[in-house]
Structures are given as C-alpha cells and as structure tokens.
C-alpha cells in the first residue's frame, strides 16, 4: 500500500500511563523522525492526573531522550503535544475536549481527522466510546478511528458485550483492535515467505509438512502484574490472541489480493476450521503449567503463588502448550503445536516449520541419520529466517551433515526495523487494518478458548509443576511425544 503523509489530531486516553510513555510516544517520534508524520498533527493527552502542558511535554521529552537525534529539536516535537485533564464519567469534559480538538484541527490543518487511542483499563472502553458519540466528538468532517488495546473481553460473552457497546458509537471499519504481535516485522514476514517464494508455497501443505511449532516464551515472571494476571492466565493473555493469530497466518489460504478484507477472510476460515473439541477432550490437546521457585542466571526466583497479588492457592496457569488440528484439505493431519510461558529458559518468539522425512534414507548403511528440513522464522531475540538442510561432509566420504542457510536482519543492509507499535500506528493513520483484529476473529477465538477455560476452571491442577528457568512441565513434551514429535530446542 502506498502511503501519503497523514494529518490528524490524535487523542490518547491514558496519556500518563506506562504504555503511552514506553511505546506510543517513542513510536510517534520515530514516525516523525522518519518523515512518516508531517507537521500537520497534534496529540491530546487525556488522563485524570492534574498536569500542566509543560509537565506533560517534559514527560514526552523524557520518553524520547534515548534517541538523542541532533537533527530534531525535542521541543519542536513536544510542541505538538497538549494535555487535557479528564474525567471519563463527566459529559461536560467531552464537550470541552471536542472544542479543544476543533481548535487544534484548525491550528494544525488536520482536515478534521481524529484518531482516538484507548490506552487504559478496558472497563472504561464502552463508556468512553458511548460518551464520545453522545457528546458529538465523533461528528467531525474528516475520518474517525478508534484504537483499542487488549484484553478485548475476558470470554466470548464479555467480549460481545464490549463490542456491542463500542459498535453503538463506531462502525467496524473504524475500530482497530491492537495485537502488537501483528506489528512485528518477522511475523509480517510469514506472508512474504509464503506468497513471494515459489520454493515454499507448493510445499505448504500436509503432503510435505510434518508439523508446525510456534513458541513465545519469557524469562520474566508476573512481577508486579500478579493481581491482573491471576484473573487472566496464559490461555487468555497469550493463546486467545497472539498465538491463534500466528497460527491463522501460517495456515491461511493465499488471499485473492493483499488487502485487509481478503486477508481477514482467509484468517477467519482457519479459525472456523479448527477441530472442535469438548471439555472432556481438553487434556488430549492442551497442557497447563505454573512455575515454581527456581534459578535463572544465578538468581534465586520465587514461585508464582508467592508473587504479590496472587492467590496462595492459585489455579491460574503461567504456561500453556497446545495441539491445534485444522480440518481442511490443506492441513488435515498436521498438528500445529504452540507453547507460551513465563519463567522459562529463554525469551524467544519463533516459528518452526518441520518438513516430512524422505521415504527412504539412502545414507542409512553409513550410520547417518538424516535431520529433517526446517524453516525457522525468529522474531526474538534475533530477527532472522533460517533454512536447515543436509549437505556433504567436508571429507573423502559421501556422508551428510546438517547445514544452515540464513537471513539475519541484524547483518543486512538497510536493516532498520520499525517497532511494532510504530508500524501499527502508521497503519491506522493511513486506514490500513490488515494487521489489526476484526471482531469475527475475536469472536471465533474466544468461543474456542472458552471451552478450555471452562474445563480448567472446574478442575484443580497439581500446581506448581515446572521449575523457573526450565522449558515448562514434562507434560508439554509428552503432548508432542504422543505423535512422535519433539519441541525444537529453545
């Protein structure tokens, strides 16, 4: 998609929060520095805290001080930012906000375009959306868009209630639900690897692929998020959104065109094709874990149940491994394994496509084992794509050895990689919803995940069941072992 330089007034609710300071302001700065934002923009920071404009702009400058770009005066960038103390329950505040937006629109010549970003607690999403509509803040002359952070509901029922509230004020094509994994460069590379290479797409099916593995692991525990996390868990926090989104990108059919509607249509077909399971079958397809005490890099670490805000008898999972089966012609019989967990051996986000073995091993008599061919897409800690092949050893014999061909973004020319929020903000400003999540995707994923949640909530687990600093519980390995597979090493 060809982009022009956007014009807009950006209104950030939750402007003094951690997300805004760590992600949003640095991302807007990078867009500004890279010429993706013109001078025709303004940002209104909305929050309860009583700050002055000067205080707010000092916060902005602090959040971008790491860049230290000699070509950009931080004061010039910060001059586009304005603070607006706000009570989301007070309707008069919306009326004043509307007048302020109109004033900045005229000053910065933003053509009446408005982007509302809800970077705050989700229990306010519906209220804010309804009040923006009722007080005329969305009756502008240009475009209107709404960005919503996850979590989008706690289950299908609450997600549907929230969606109904928001849809009273905004149309579906105005709503941009963030999944920051979809902004990661190497996750977006899934489509390019598949659809821009004649080498792979003909092999991308159950005739040639043995299994696909998706890992998203962290070395950190819940830290200070114990109270929130104990109400969520890894299944809702990671699998319902990030992991299923990656599975849908890997399994989707080639879209008719590379536009949001066609890509979304193919992703939705994947979610509809997930093999149905009932609560009695959950243990055959899903494994849960919770971390115990352990050690990482010589540091002693506490157990999940010892974390601040966590129930000392908590049944909340900090690890999930799953086997998804997709009932369609392309993928019948191919397991999609996913795992995600906290306090694991390594922080990693990677995808492994394992191709099937050859029908005959010609090197068997020489005592060689032929390693499977693997295509690995890694988003963290390094951004790289590796292809694992077999080749002749460098000696007088004809035996084989595994070799690796790789593309490493770190060593590539022109290797600037935009941060995920930078990409997603840029997409939204241009009206490109490709890398955002449609309501149909949210609904289908919640309906599937609710079955697992209900089964686990009614069944007490034997937690804790894995040591901090390891690769998760033994049952996570056994899930693959039942099919003769194993996790590729983190």
| Rounded Cα distance, 221 and 155, in Å | 24
Distances (CA, A) of 410 to 68, 380, 407, 414: 22, 12, 9, 10
* 136: helix, strand or coil: coil
Structure tokens at 8: 């807009």
**In terms of Cα–Cα distance, which of 169, 197, 181 is closest to 254?**
197
Contact 317, 233 (CB under 8 A): yes
| Rounded Cα distance, 271 and 263, in Å | 13
Residue 19 φ/ψ, nearest 5 degrees:
-60, -45
The single-letter DSSP state of residue 473 is -
**In terms of Cα–Cα distance, which of 63, 137, 142 is closest to 100?**
137
Largest Cα–Cα separation, the chain = 84
Distances (CA, A) of 398 to 363, 387, 389, 390, 471: 9, 22, 16, 12, 37
Going across the sheet that includes 209-217, the strands are 286-289, 319-325, 335-341, 209-217, 348-355, 374-380, 384-392, 400-408
* Residue 319 host element (H or E): strand 319-325
Give the residue numbers marked as catalytic: 242
**In terms of Cα–Cα distance, which of 169, 213, 482, 486 is closest to 340?**
213
**Neighbouring-strand partners of residue 175:** 146
């Amino acid at each position: 998609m060809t982009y022009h330089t956007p014009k807009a007034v950006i209104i950030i609710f939750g402007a003094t929060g951690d997300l805004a300071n760590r992600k949003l302001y640095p991302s807007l700065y990078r867009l500004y520095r890279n010429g993706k934002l013109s001078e025709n923009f303004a940002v209104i920071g909305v929050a309860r805290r009583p700050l002055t404009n000067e205080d707010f702009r000092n916060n902005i400058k602090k959040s971008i001080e790491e860049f230290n770009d000699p070509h950009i005066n931080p004061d010039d960038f910060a001059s586009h930012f304005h603070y607006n103390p706000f009570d989301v329950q007070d309707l008069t505040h919306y009326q004043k906000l509307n007048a302020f937006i109109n004033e900045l629109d005229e000053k910065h010549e933003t053509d009446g375009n408005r982007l509302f970003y809800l970077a705050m607690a989700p229990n306010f999403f519906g209220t804010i959306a309804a009040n923006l509509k009722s007080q005329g803040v969305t009756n502008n002359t240009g475009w209107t868009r709404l960005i919503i952070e996850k979590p989008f509901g706690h289950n299908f029922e609450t997600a549907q209630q929230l969606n109904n509230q928001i849809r009273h004020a905004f149309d579906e094509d105005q709503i941009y639900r963030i999944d920051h994994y979809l902004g990661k460069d190497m996750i977006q590379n899934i489509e390019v690897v598949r659809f821009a290479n004649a080498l792979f797409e003909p092999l991308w099916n159950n005739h040639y692929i043995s299994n696909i593995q998706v890992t998203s692991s962290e070395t950190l525990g819940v830290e200070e998020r114990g109270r929130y996390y104990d109400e969520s868990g890894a299944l809702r926090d990671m699998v319902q959104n990030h992991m299923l989104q990656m599975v849908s990108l890997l399994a989707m059919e080639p879209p008719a065109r590379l536009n949001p509607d066609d890509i979304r249509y193919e992703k939705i077909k994947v979610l509809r094709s997930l093999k149905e399971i009932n609560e009695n079958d959950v243990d055959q397809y899903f494994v849960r874990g919770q971390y115990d005490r352990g050690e990482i890099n010589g540091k002693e670490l506490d157990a999940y149940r010892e974390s601040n805000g966590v129930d000392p008898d908590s049944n909340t999972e900090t690890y999930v491994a799953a086997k998804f089966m997709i009932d369609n012609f392309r993928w019948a019989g191919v397991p999609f394994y996913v795992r995600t967990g906290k306090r694991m051996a390594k922080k990693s986000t990677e995808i492994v496509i394992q191709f099937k073995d050859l029908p005959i091993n010609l090197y068997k008599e020489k005592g060689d084992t032929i390693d499977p061919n693997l295509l690995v897409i890694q988003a963290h800690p390094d951004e790289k794509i590796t292809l694992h092949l077999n080749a002749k050893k460098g000696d007088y014999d004809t035996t084989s050895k595994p070799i690796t061909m790789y593309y490493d973004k770190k060593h590539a020319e022109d290797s600037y990689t935009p941060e995920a929020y930078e990409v997603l903000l840029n997409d939204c400003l241009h009206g490109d919803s490709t890398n955002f999540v449609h309501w149909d995707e949210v609904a289908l994923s919640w309906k599937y995940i609710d079955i697992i949640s209900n089964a686990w909530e009614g069944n007490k687990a034997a937690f804790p069941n894995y040591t901090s600093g390891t690769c998760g519980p033994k049952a996570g390995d056994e899930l693959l072992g039942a099919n003769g597979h194993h996790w590729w090493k983190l």
